[in-house]
Chain A
Amino acid sequence: MQFYIQQTLNALQVGSVYALIALGYTMVYGILTLINFAHGDIFMISCYVAFFFSTLVISVLAGLPPLVVFVLTMLVSMFFTALLAVVIERLAYKPLRTAPRISAVITALGIGLLLENFMVAFKPVGPAPRFMPELIPNVIYNIGGVAVSNIQIVIIVVSIVAMVILDLIVRRTMVGMAMRAISWDKFTVPLMGIPVDRIISLTFALGASIAAVGGTLYGMAYTIDPYMGIRIGWWAFISAVVGGIGNIRGAMLGGFILGFVEIFTPVFLPASTYRDFVAFSLLLVLLIFKPTGLLGRPMVQKV
């Protein structure tokens, strides 16, 4: 029993990171019907921003309390990642908005690979995995035989808070209303005086900064390397599709489902190397039988 509670906790920890990244995929898809394949690598960049910034802060301003360093790191990572996403959107996606949709998808794929290969080739980063400096001293509590670390709690709580905030932004604010309006009807919305370009940029920025929240949290618990954009990014992407791409609550649900798949696959199958196999088979089966995902609305093709 304790074993399963422990694993459930681990699944929640991994799943919340997936959910945070999946939100970025799903928001951009909702507004532009573009699969932003570069999003996983934007998440990877956010980890590196957090890594370099926290190393710098800890070495330069040694006396700061851990909480301040943690919050500062997260904010800086969010800011720079959002900036990168907006730059990418302006330079690469915006010129293709009127082009056939596939062109933009191919470009996104190219940008993802470009970011990844750039980070591998770029000397200060390199392909070697790295550890982020300890932002919060790791404490492990033992509750009835279940080991719970404070980092685990921070990851789960901060992710859920971030998701709630994002959900509120999308559902309760004018900006969120504009986003939903654009995803509903792209052609009428500009006539209502909504600055479409700005809202789209804002969507990219929001998606990237919530991925940066995930990136900072992820870096606190695991090692980071340039290839994680593919590994983690794809899992998050599957989460978005499983939940129904374009649906924000679906992305959250999908993230946690994938977290459980990742943690419980080694429990029921002989080796953890089957994880990718299980996840992608799940994706394939779902796409064949219910292409719109668990919470997605079916799209009707108009002739």
Chain B
Amino acid sequence: MIAKLWNRWKLQLILLLVLVLTILLPAVGVIDDYINLVLKYIGINIILTISLNLVNGYMGEFSVGHAGFMAVGAYTASLLTVLVVPEALNPFLFPLVIIAGGVVAGIFGLGLAFPSFRTRGDYLAIVTLAFNMIIKSALENIEAIGGPRGFMGMSKLTSLFWVFIWVVITVWLARNFIFSNYGRGVQSIREDETAAGLVSVNTRQAKVLTFVFSAFLAGIAGGLFAHELQFINPRSFTIAKSTDMLVMVYLGGIGSLGGSILGATTFTVVSEGLRSLLQVLGISQEWRQVFAPLMLILLMLFRPKGIMGLREWRFLIPQLDRKKEPPASKPQPEVAS
């Protein structure tokens, strides 16, 4: 009886325990401010990685512009916090503000889904890139939100507690999406779009859904990011940011939620470790910027699959699917031709 209950509820129990810990540990002082910050970054990066993995990994399209969605979410949420929501209500309406940021980013994602009907591969990469540049350029030109100087005045609302909740929600939503009918349609587009269309996958619908969902998640991450830093400017959301996301996706492995979590965690920890290392060695911090692109190149050359490309942690696979052959034993399909 107990064993059965444990099996049914263990995941929820563990999550609840961690949730309590996210409040307790920083409050008691077991984890100091720096570790707290790194943990929050890890969480935000996990959301971003899953967001990009949906488009690049599961759908096999190629987006280089997700920093643009992040920017939209960050600015929307920040503007709402500072200008619309009354000061006293801020901590309570924080989730709504973040969701609003995600929704607006999602609307932009809808806009970007339409070009993907006509173009694929390289050309879509250029479209997303242009989108990123346009967003950055537009933000720099709107004086009302600070222009190139950026925007500030948000209170520090992003706590470890909220980041953890959003990470769990993201993973849960993404898992349910991927293993739903729509999600399988999305993955069939990766393997062969024409064939997917022939077996009556509604490829347009799948693309719209994925782009909107992915943009929504990137917007959420942007909102959290903005309320952590309390200061955003257009330069935070350039191609360099998109490249960081690409590194995390390909490090963790495409088409894998577990991989996204591992990739984002590894990247953040290594990147922060490098900061301390450079400090100890007395080398300029600018060399840290060299690390991410170098890692991306080496990954592509020597391990394009990443840590766990196209494989999944068992507990992230819905019960009904678990009895089947593990996906790893299947021949590795070629991704994105």
Contacts and interface: CB of A to CB of B under 8 A. Distances in A.
B165 to A, nearest CB: 32
A121 B286 contact: yes
A117 B296 contact: no
Given A280-B130, A288-B118, A121 B290 contact: yes
A274 B139 CA distance: 11
Given A101-B337, A109-B246, A291-B119, A92 B134 contact: no
A127 B287 CA distance: 12
Given A121-B284, A273-B141, A284 B336 contact: no
Interface in B119-142: 119, 121-123, 125-127, 130-131, 133-134, 136-138, 140-141
B293 A117 contact: yes
Contacts of B300: 96, 99, 103-104, 106-107, 110
Which has the most chain B C-beta neighbours within 10 Å: A106, A109, A113, A274? A106
A111 B137 contact: no
B58 interface: no
Interface in B243-302: 243, 246, 250, 284, 286-287, 289-290, 292-294, 296-297, 300-301
A102 B296 contact: no
B37 interface: no
A140 interface: no
Contact of A103 (B136, B289, B292, B304): B304
B290 A281 contact: no
Contacts of A100: 304, 334-337
Main secondary structure, interface of B, reads helix
Interface in B125-173: 125-127, 130-131, 133-134, 136-138, 140-141, 148
Contacts of B127: 284, 287-288
B134 A110 contact: no
Contact of A106 (B286, B296, B334): B296
Contacts, number: 123
B115 interface: yes
Contact of B290 (A102, A114, A271, A287): A114
B133 A234 contact: yes
A302 to B, nearest CB: 10
B75 interface: no
Contacts of B194: 301, 303
Contact of A107 (B62, B119, B125, B301): B301
Interface in A230-263: 230, 234, 241
A146 interface: no
A120 interface: yes
Contacts of A287: 115, 119, 123, 126-127, 130
Given A121-B289, A280-B134, A109 B301 contact: no
A241 B115 contact: no
A276 interface: yes
B239 to A, nearest CB: 7
A112 B292 CA distance: 12
A160 interface: no
B6 interface: no
B191 to A, nearest CB: 12
A284 B131 contact: yes
A299 to B, nearest CB: 10
Contact of A110 (B126, B297, B334): B297
A222 interface: no
B62 A117 contact: no
A35 B121 CA distance: 11
Contact of B304 (A99, A123, A273): A99
A284 B297 contact: no
A101 B119 CA distance: 15
A198 to B, nearest CB: 22
Nearest to B285: A121
A131 interface: no
Nearest to B136: A276
12 contacts: A96-B301, A99-B300, A100-B335, A109-B243, A109-B293, A110-B243, A110-B293, A114-B293, A277-B134, A280-B130, A284-B130, A291-B123
The 9 residue pairs across chains A and B that have the minimum distance between CB atoms: A121-B286, A110-B296, A113-B293, A117-B289, A114-B293, A276-B137, A277-B137, A110-B293, A110-B297
